[in-house]
């Protein structure tokens, strides 16, 4: 069997509708990629050193892959996934790759299968399906290519036609890699985004130490409420100096609060105590979303909110392997009531731009689309995480378009740690949008000329505008 990608993949089965999708896709296939939110490592572009090997590049950083293997009883140690202390039980990447390849059949019908097939074909020019029998052949072929200059991170950045890519860093990050990129005079545009979670979530490991470190970095008294807020403003300006146009907030819920100053000060004192209560932790996160919205009005940073993930669901795996190891599970999320305190205060302020994401699809048509369909501050982020899939993307369009339209959404962002999957993910998103628009054309709900304009907006213009990513 030969590994190949069908040119009509993800397009409608009906010949007439498929022909419309093909014409629309031709308009966006070659457009530059706007990647305004993700978790790639800026060190790759600062150092521009060869990637190590196939396993380290494609397997061990990708929780989409190893969570599926874990579900079948394969221990993360067997895959070479680093433990929380930085050690690795299996040091031979080839063995981890062989185990992965032998279980590749598990990914049939999943987005991961589509992404990796795309990478094998379009990046590494391979036409052999991954399996136990071909594991060594593919491992060696990938490693051989990774040794060449064409596969250095900056070269791949150009090959993928990425116009701009945004990484995500903690307020405590010195941004040394971004500084190195700037000093290298490389023309690739890699920006940062402000992710304050370690310093706004009292349940985050090392919270109090992070608050102290924030004070050291800024020269502000972060033991006081006002000093703490000033410290965030200082760091946000520092991030802006490295091109940041957005913040990002990964909270368990989307709850907001607007406490009087005295109550906020008392709450801050309590969460700095030895054992803050769960209720106080939630209220503090809620207050900080509103405080961050106020800061965004002043400094212009676009605010992203990624709520609704029950993170690190298994305590034992968290202890062994640390965060972001596949044990994050979607949970029910309220938006209408949760956002009201912040929206009462800032919801009509056109200086504020908030992009809402969700892992709770039941909220698309009931809450999110109606909210974004009326508040000028709100836009809908694309299908995220578990719903970053053909079916998830199509459900998103079907459930939100009638209420929020297309122009209250922000196109697509890949939110990935897997650098090589970025063009694959964007290709999937563009194909799904073409398929959806083609259906509207075929149903005579949209003229093809208008669909042609919209598909370019979704693929390129809307994310660029929503994230304020105009000329550098």
Hunting for tokens 């305004």 — which residue is that? 36
**DSSP at 194:** B
In the prediction, which pLDDT does 1 show?
83
The tally of CA atoms less than 13 A away on the side-chain side of residue 371 is 25
Both structure tokens of 123: 């990046």
In the prediction, which pLDDT does 89 show?
86
Smallest Cα–Cα separation from 157: which of 4, 46, 5? 46
In the prediction, which pLDDT does 274 show?
86
Within 10 angstroms of residue 278's Cβ, the number of other Cβ atoms is 9
- Indicate where the chain has its CATH 1.10.2020.10 domain(s): 51-151
Task: Report residue 352: phi and psi, to 5°.
Answer: -100, 135
Entry pTM: 0.96
The answer to whether residues 317 and 82 touch, using CB atoms and an 8 Å cutoff, is no
CATH superfamily assigned to domain 51-151: uronate isomerase, domain 2, chain A (1.10.2020.10)
The Cα–Cα gap between 173 and 239 comes to: 10
In the prediction, which pLDDT does 324 show?
87
Both structure tokens of 1: 């069997």
The answer to whether residues 231 and 215 touch, using CB atoms and an 8 Å cutoff, is yes
Within 10 angstroms of residue 37's Cβ, the number of other Cβ atoms is 26
Pairing of strands 246-249, 190-191: unpaired
- Using a 10 angstrom Cβ sphere, with 0-12 exposed, 13-18 middle and 19 or more buried, the burial of residue 50 is middle
* Residues written for the chain: 472
Helix (H) or strand (E) holding 252: none
In the prediction, which pLDDT does 471 show?
60
In the prediction, which pLDDT does 300 show?
98
Pairing of strands 329-330, 309-310: antiparallel
The answer to whether residues 128 and 116 touch, using CB atoms and an 8 Å cutoff, is no
Average pLDDT by stretches of 10, the chain with 472 residues:
95 98 98 97 98 94 92 95 89 94 97 96 97 98 97 98 98 98 96 98 96 98 98 98 98 97 98 94 98 98 97 94 92 97 98 97 97 98 96 98 98 94 97 98 98 98 97 55
The contacts of residue 295 (CB under 8 Å, 6+ apart) are 232, 233, 236, 301
Helix 225-240 to helix 278-299 angle, to the nearest 10 degrees? 50
Task: Report residue 300: phi and psi, to 5°.
Answer: 85, 0
Helix 261-271 to helix 278-299 angle, to the nearest 10 degrees? 120
Architecture, CATH, for domain 155-466: Alpha-Beta Barrel (3.20)
Q: Is the Cα torsion angle 330, 336, 342, 347 positive or negative in sign? A: positive
């Amino acid at each position: 069997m030969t590994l190949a990608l069908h040119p009509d993949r993800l397009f409608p089965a009906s010949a007439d509708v498929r022909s419309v999708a093909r014409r629309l896709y031709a308009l966006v296939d070659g457009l530059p990629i706007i990647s305004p939110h993700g978790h790639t490592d800026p060190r790759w572009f600062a150092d521009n050193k060869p990637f190590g090997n196939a396993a380290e590049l494609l397997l061990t950083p990708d929780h989409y892959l190893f969570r599926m293997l874990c579900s079948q009883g394969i221990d993360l140690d067997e895959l070479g996934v680093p433990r929380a202390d930085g050690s690795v039980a299996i040091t031979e990447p080839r063995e981890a790759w062989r185990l992965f390849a032998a279980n590749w059949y598990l990914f049939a019908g999943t987005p991961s299968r589509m992404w990796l097939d795309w990478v094998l074909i379009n990046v590494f020019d391979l036409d052999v399906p991954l399996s136990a029998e071909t594991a060594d052949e593919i491992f060696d072929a990938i490693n051989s290519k990774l040794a060449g200059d064409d596969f250095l991170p900056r070269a791949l950045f150009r090959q993928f036609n990425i116009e701009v890519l945004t990484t995500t860093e903690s307020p405590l990050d010195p941004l040394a890699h971004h500084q190195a990129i700037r000093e290298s005079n490389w023309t690739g545009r890699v920006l940062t985004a402000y992710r304050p979670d370690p310093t706004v979530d009292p349940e985050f490991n090392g919270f109090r130490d992070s608050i102290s470190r924030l004070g050291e970095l800024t020269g502000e008294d972060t033991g006081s409420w006002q000093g703490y807020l000033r410290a965030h403003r200082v760091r946000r300006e520092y991030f802006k100096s490295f091109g940041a146009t957005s913040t990002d907030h990964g909270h368990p819920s989307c709850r907001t609060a607007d406490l009087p100053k005295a109550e906020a000060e008392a709450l801050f004192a309590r969460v700095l105590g030895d054992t803050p209560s769960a209720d106080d932790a939630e209220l503090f996160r809620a207050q900080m979303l509103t405080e961050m919205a106020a800061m965004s009005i002043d400094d212009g940073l676009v605010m992203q909110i990624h709520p609704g993930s029950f993170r690190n669901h298994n305590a034992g795996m968290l202890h062994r392997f640390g965060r972001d190891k596949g044990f994050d599970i979607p949970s029910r999320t309220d938006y209408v009531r949760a956002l009201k305190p912040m929206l009462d205060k800032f919801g009509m302020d056109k200086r504020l731009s908030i992009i809402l994401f969700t892992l709770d699809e039941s909220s698309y048509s009931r809450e999110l689309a109606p909210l974004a369909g009326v508040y000028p501050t709100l836009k809908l982020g694309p299908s995220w995480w578990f719903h970053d899939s053909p079916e998830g993307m199509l459900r998103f369009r079907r459930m939100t378009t009638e209420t929020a339209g297309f122009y209250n959404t922000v196109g697509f962002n890949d939110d990935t740690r897997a650098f090589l999957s970025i063009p694959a993910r964007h290709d999937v998103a563009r194909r799904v949008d073409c398929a959806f628009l083609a259906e509207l054309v075929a149903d005579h709900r949209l003229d093809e000329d208008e669909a042609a304009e919209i598909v370019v907006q979704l693929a390129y213009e809307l994310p660029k505008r929503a994230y304020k990513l105009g000329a550098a």
